[in-house]
């Protein structure tokens, strides 16, 4: 049984000719992938190649930055701001945010520390906005992170599997300051001469976080290429929507990932 979600359906059909079948546990959400006598749970689009510690680190924007910094990998700084309602909160997150706002030329980005697929991400240029956005995030019951705003026209997403780059995607922002395709950015091809440098940086970043299957987002800044974030789930639905060639490429990557998962069982 397969799903009626287009992206998840693409993933499941990618291994149809390999003899892999799927039993539905929760419709469009939770499945049991089966190949012969082997099976594993597939949670949404997650095939389970990444260990839990690595996945949790990647989910944290500040945790990702600190790990990359530890390994001397160029990345956009993200500072952790604990929710002031947390019972673990000891420092004043608002005061720290104000200090960093001034330090970073009064132009920052504030977001959920655990990410939200481009939602709850704010570009801030005043103290009043900073306080307002932090309060909004904290009211949602989440922690936040703050980073300096980097003026960048291009963002690149590299899909890595087993420490090898499998797919290179480019995004050019247009009407929005964000690079999300759903926010108006357009998908572009990456020049062949740029691919080796992007591949090297993406592989270093994925290896540092010990992720077997992930996407690495890299900004083209005035200071060169810097990792923006790493996503432990490979979500490329907007990239390949209504584009058969891209759908084929994504399906090929997921086919390799699913079969790799079975080999590890």
User: What Å distances lie between residue 155 and 98, 160, 216, CA to CA?
Assistant: 27, 16, 10
Residue 1 predicted with pLDDT over 70: no
Torsion of CA 57, 61, 64, 70, to 10 degrees: -130
Q: What is the DSSP letter of 134?
A: H
Write out pLDDT tens, residues 28-73. Answer: 999 999 999 999 999 999 999 999 999 999 999 999 999 999 999 9
Nearest to 235 by CA among 46, 21, 65: 46
CA–CA gap between residue 39 and residue 262 (Å, rounded): 7
pLDDT at position 79: 97
Give the mean pLDDT of the chain. Answer: 93
CA–CA gap between residue 198 and residue 217 (Å, rounded): 10
Kindly list the structural domains of the chain, giving each domain's residue range(s) and its CATH number in brackets, ordered by start. Answer: 6-45+243-264 (no CATH), 52-76+151-234 (3.30.470.20), 79-148 (3.30.1490.20)
Burial class of 187 by CB neighbour count within 10 A (0 to 12, 13 to 18, 19+): middle
Strands 144-148 and 154-161: unpaired
CA–CA gap between residue 34 and residue 27 (Å, rounded): 16
Query: What SS3 class is residue 184?
Result: coil
pLDDT greater at residue 90 or residue 154 = 154
| Helix extents (H) in 88-243 | 93-103, 127-139, 195-208, 237-240
Mean pLDDT of 117-144: 93
Percent of the chain with pLDDT over 70: 99
pLDDT at position 50: 96
CA–CA gap between residue 245 and residue 250 (Å, rounded): 9
pLDDT at position 174: 84
Give the least confident one: 77-91, 92-106, 172-186, 243-257.
172-186
């Amino acid at each position: 049984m397969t799903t009626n979600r287009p992206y998840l359906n693409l993933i499941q059909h990618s291994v149809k000719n390999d003899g892999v079948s799927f039993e539905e546990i929760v419709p469009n959400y939770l499945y049991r992938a089966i190949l012969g006598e082997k099976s594993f749970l597939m949670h949404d689009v997650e095939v389970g190649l990444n260990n839990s510690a690595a996945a949790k680190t990647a989910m944290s924007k500040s945790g990702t930055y600190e790990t990359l910094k530890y390994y001397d990998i160029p990345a956009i700084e993200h500072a952790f701001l604990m929710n002031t309602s947390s019972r673990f909160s000891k420092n004043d997150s608002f005061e720290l945010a104000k200090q960093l706002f001034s330090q970073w030329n009064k132009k920052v980005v504030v977001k959920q520390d655990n990410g939200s697929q481009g939602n709850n991400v704010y570009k801030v240029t005043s103290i009043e906005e900073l306080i307002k956005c932090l309060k909004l995030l904290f009211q949602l019951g989440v922690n936040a992170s703050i980073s300096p705003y980097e003026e960048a026209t291009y963002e690149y997403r590299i899909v890595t599997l087993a420490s090898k780059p499998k797919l290179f995607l480019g995004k050019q922002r247009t009407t929005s300051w964000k690079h999300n395709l759903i926010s108006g950015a357009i998908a572009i091809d990456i020049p062949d001469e740029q691919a080796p440098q992007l591949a090297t940086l993406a592989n270093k970043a994925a290896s540092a976080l010990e992720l077997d299957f992930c996407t690495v987002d890299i900004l083209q800044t005035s200071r060169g290429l810097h990792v923006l974030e790493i996503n432990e789930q490979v979500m490329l639905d907007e990239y390949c929507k209504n584009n058969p060639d891209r759908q084929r490429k994504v399906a090929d990557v997921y086919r390799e990932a699913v079969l790799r998962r079975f080999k590890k069982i």
